[in-house]
Structure 1
Amino acid sequence: MSSSSSPAQTRRCRYCGAAMVLRVSKSDKNRGKPFWKYLISYGASCNEFE
């Protein structure tokens, strides 16, 4: 049986190689804007935000 939800878009950080997933902002300031989020929090080891 197939799922009705589409698979998450993923990629690797170009700096540290960590797995990232595409999310859509829900904040008032950036509502609806896509951004890449790390699957696992790495703290201060990589500050890349796209």
Structure 2
Amino acid sequence: MKLSEIETEIESLRKQLVDAYLLSGSINTNEVLEKSRLLDHWLNRYEQSMNKK
């Protein structure tokens, strides 16, 4: 996967996370927690890709 694709995924998940939080009004909903986990996963992939360069 290209670095630009990872960056796009991260940006998309950031927006989804904020939207889920704003809709629910709480950080502890399943959707918000799931988006947060996904964002962590993609940030780790991004970091690993940067370390390979």
What TM-score comes out, normalization by structure 1 length? Answer: 0.22
What TM-score comes out, normalization by structure 2 length? Answer: 0.21
Higher fraction of strand: 1
Higher fraction of helix: 2
Higher RCO (CA 8 Å, separation ≥ 6 residues) = 2
